[in-house]
Chains A and B, each alone.
Chain A
């Protein structure tokens, strides 16, 4: 098996080298001046088009990307009427989302999602937003306020060549508004029929060489029980139910979250910008239905994110930045453990043009992580070997070569070293062909490899819970013996086209191979089960995504369909994830009507979602139809707006959906009516 993998790896590397040399030589030979991406061929509308940065770490037009990207704009967010990021993400092609409690969600690009979504990399302004303990992101702990988001870029497919570990199935990059895009005072408050509130205030200003923004918010979500839901549903065997008495517990999933976020930019010169920022989130939450339901008091999550960045335009087509960012978390969950961690990361990137046909980006980072875990109760999780000091370092090279007027080749390669796991590499090689002179129609062919490195929790967690007498426990987890990185390879083809003025079409297909997926093995010592993380399975996935949108002054109409046929090699091996829904459909309609009225509708269908659970049982989440409607009326020359709406009109996404190790769960409120008032000065 190793010999086969080694052979495949070698072939991929040699293929990469061959293509690089082949097309590289051709590019150097031509030396044409078709670089600058034919900006002079573009219309004014095209020049003002949305740029994206997540595909290759530099702004690019959507039609030029080496990987499929969908963009959720601030307008999409605003008129959805929604108040959290995962709910908004579900209306994007290829994104799987399940609600697990009132505030916890499983989100994954092309599936393989869990409540920490550790196979999709989440970034805020290109900076990591992952937990080094679990590897994924918990959106409710992020100090980001919805109306501060400029756009969310969703990259579908292995993207480790640009972003490193965990950009395994995709990347979600949340990009916040710059102060100059949000000048003045802003206030917004939303209230639901259950008494949930979401309030956000902001002030942004530009003075001489300074631009700055400060935001604060408060979110209050009631318990499911208090919101007309909280129905208990068990998926345990009768014996476990009798032992644990799950049915006697009520849903306790409230959240009160205070958030703060601030950012400042100083234009040191025409070419140099210094920026820094800090954000803080404090979430008081109810019990965590995790690893069995053990009511033990409310939890507390505190997260602080901060950064400082120096950007410089060297002229001559070169620019670069140096940045530090630090993420700090302090959390206490009585039913699980108390932990705190810090991530310090130094990162640099240089962009330059070479030989008139190369758009090159090189860079690297070094990250230092420290984790402390406290076990306050014998049944809480503990970690063998803590506290942990871990270091990561990575280097990358991205080169976009303009081969001719029509052809371009983008190569991304990145190597990452990890002190506690294995060193690995990732790549993406994409060939793009413009079918017409105006580049309104582009074909894309790509190969990619990415990896996911196991973080601290799957490597080192140790627990014994539910005493059955004689010092023995009914539920046991032990540290992994040795975990290797998960690997994935993809072959992709896609088309991006501008079919008519304001009408765009994107079609992407892919085959993706997964190797060494991590899950949990289960062995018995007598009658008692013991779980260990291990590389237990592989899988194949075939899929396609089709997205069409027409957007103009009257509004927006968009439709998408996503197909994903995911087949694990050995079914029911517990790869600790939801599998993607095979069929997903989305529709959006937004109409700007006379007299300041706006109507917005979002619809999403997701087919049956299968879950391979911890103890190798299959759990299904039902197919779902979701419809959100919303009407807004502006007043006072657009300075004010009133909005009313309903989310999940069909009341079909209220669960419960079972997450990792959950032995019991409660349903959550589905259909929710809400009202919102916003003011700007």
Chain B
């Protein structure tokens, strides 16, 4: 009897500890969000913060317009490269899953996801900056595209695999060639999942700092020319946060708030799109 009571109390206390640790895991999320909002709002509550560019220390009216525009251009160009390649590669992984080559591609994708982003920055510097003797947004986009590619490939693969094989078989039975089945039947059906992957990779790329340090480099002015150095939100946060001026640190927090809101919105959107995919796949 006594032994059973001890087993029960160990059981209940272990359940309590497991849930307590789970609660503990959520505290950092709350703290990061809370401080980003509390410290970022003073800067981000001025409308000119979104329309002006950097100003000298303590000159009022400084903003991060150049960083917002830069982030959009950098990630936009990276997406143009990474999304088509990633989606086609993902279709290959799912549709021809049996070949040995796909195993290698899959492993390479998973390893590439875990590759330090600073190393990808060094790689982009060697290939896209050093030969031209100047920093450019294009080289930054190149580095971001390498980061995005494996995420898009693997999520596309997952989305295509969710499509019941009946759809593929009926297309083939009607005499459609394999490429039309893949691109015109399977891909549209898998679209929500594919879009989810693309959105997640865009969110990841928008928040990356390390690969941009010696590629896009940063620029205190508004620049829309991709062959020139360009600012981005993470670069603004990184550089300003480490400077010993309170006004610049406030701008860093403001930029961090804008970045977090952007990234979390993209994430929540992708979650919504993914739910539609799962419902859709259930109906097919």
Do A and B originate from a single complex? Answer: no
Which residues of A are interface residues toward B (Cβ below 8 A)? none
